Amino acid sequence: MTEGTSVALQAGQEMTPLAVTITREQIKAYADASGDQNPIHQDDTIAKQMGLPGVIAHGMLDFGILARAITGWLGDPARLRRLRVRFSAMVQPGDVVTCRGVVESVDEAAGTAALSVWVENQRGERVLNHGEATVSLP
């Protein structure tokens, strides 16, 4: 689905998945844009000293990718009304994260739909889970 195309929603409908390979460059760009310069996101030595396997991505970077997947699928960023998730696992450079979701219900009277959304890595582990999104109907 490309942006600008409006998606009609129905219960049980699956969101078009979006897969992204996480790079050190993305992590650095997010750190610069957000101001979160915590060295666990940029320095393997410090990350390992903190008990991590190495540099990890910001959870909010993954959250932003999920928001992009939803709004790209919907075709209009303004349709995303609410998004919440639980951060459940670390993402490292080289991981491939895939954003997925399913429409749980449609409320024609309110003009909204409720989605369950999540992000999983290449091993099928959910790195963001228990996600809920509320979107406007077209």
| 28-38 pLDDT per residue, tens | 999 999 999 99
Q: Cα–Cα distance between 57 and 54 in angstroms, integer?
A: 10
Domain of residue 50, residue span: 18-136
Specify if 26 maps to a domain: yes
Q: Is the pTM of this model over 0.75?
A: yes
Specify if 119 maps to a domain: yes
Q: Cα–Cα distance between 119 and 57 in angstroms, integer?
A: 14
Specify if 110 maps to a domain: yes
Number of domains in the chain: 1
| 27-85 pLDDT per residue, tens | 999 999 999 999 999 999 999 999 999 999 999 999 999 999 999 999 999 999 999 99
Specify if 13 maps to a domain: no
Where do runs of H (alpha helix) occur along 13-105? 24-34, 44-49, 59-74
Specify if 12 maps to a domain: no
pLDDT tops 50 at residue 109:
yes
Q: Considering just the CA atoms, what is the radius of gyration of the chain in Å?
A: 16
Instruction: Specify whether the CB–CB gap between 58 and 31 falls below 8 A.
Output: yes
CATH number at residue 84: 3.10.129.10
Q: Which residues pair with 21 in a beta bridge?
A: 96
